[in-house]
Structure 1
Amino acid sequence: MTDDTAASAATDWLTLPELVETLGEPLGRIRRLLDEKHLVGSRRQGAFAVPSLFILDGRPLASLRGTVIVLQDAGFSDDEVIDWLLAPEESIGRPPIDALREGRKSEVRRVAQTLA
């Protein structure tokens, strides 16, 4: 198991029904949030799920969308985006998702842009 896979395995994941409950939104709205890249998820553990760290105060983390778009523009798949966000990043000194949750989106996006 790689460090990236280990980091994502150690993270709590929310299935679509759990996202409906956590966000208090109907399933259609959850799907729109995924389509519009406000959230990103994976089927790596069976059912489609989103890392719980992507939710802050009952809402999708506001800075996540732009970061996901930067990474996808660099050619990352959804799984690769999740792995990068959850794994420790040497140039940031912590996993990028932790830095995003601390409000350090400019730093995270600057590093993400160098990956293109």
Structure 2
Amino acid sequence: MSAIPAAADVLAPDVEVLDLPEVAERLSLPVTRVHQLLRDGQLLAERRNGVLVVPADFLAAGGVVKGLPGTITVLRDSGYSTEEILRWLFTDDDTLPGTPIEALRGDRGREVKRRAQAMGF
């Protein structure tokens, strides 16, 4: 079994995060399935105070925010690290407006993915 990938603590302290058992509970999955989602790049985690946590904004009613796994894949394929992806998802962009994760949650995923693809060039 491979290690669970995690970024350093790169997000602002006010970003709400959930530990892995909380993520599992919200997704109605066993925690081992959450580990697999992290290994597969469907979710991202950071290590905050020694604990693996996932941003709460990555979860929506019924699952992972639509478009997030694809956006992560596009950015990873372009060579971005987990830390860089997390920073980008939570950085304000006046042209969206808001952050890319807010845009994904607001059903503007197509624009977020287009921007992610453009960053790879």
> What's the TM-score, normalizing by structure 1?
0.85
Note the C-alpha offset of 1:7.
5.7
Identity %, equivalent residues: 36
Matched, 1:93 2:97: yes
> What's the TM-score, normalizing by structure 2?
0.82
Report the secondary structure of 1:48's partner residue.
strand
Report the secondary structure of 1:49's partner residue.
strand
C-alpha contact 1:13 1:51 (8 A) present in aligned 2: yes
List per-residue Cα deviations over 1:14-50 (Å, max 9, x = no partner): 1112112222211111112112222111114421111
C-alpha contact 1:68 1:81 (8 A) present in aligned 2: yes
C-alpha contact 2:71 2:112 (8 A) present in aligned 1: yes
Structure showing the higher helix proportion among its residues: 1
1:32 aligned residue:
36
Note the C-alpha offset of 1:68.
0.3
C-alpha contact 1:38 1:62 (8 A) present in aligned 2: no
Moved over 4 A (4+): none
2:14 aligned residue:
10
2:72 aligned residue:
68
Q: CA RMSD in A?
A: 1.8
Note the C-alpha offset of 1:83.
1.0
List per-residue Cα deviations over 1:62-100 (Å, max 9, x = no partner): 210000011111211112111110111233221000100
**Structure 1 residues 64 and 96, CA gap change in structure 2 (3 angstroms):** same
| Number of equivalences | 112
- Output the amino acid matched with 2:93: E
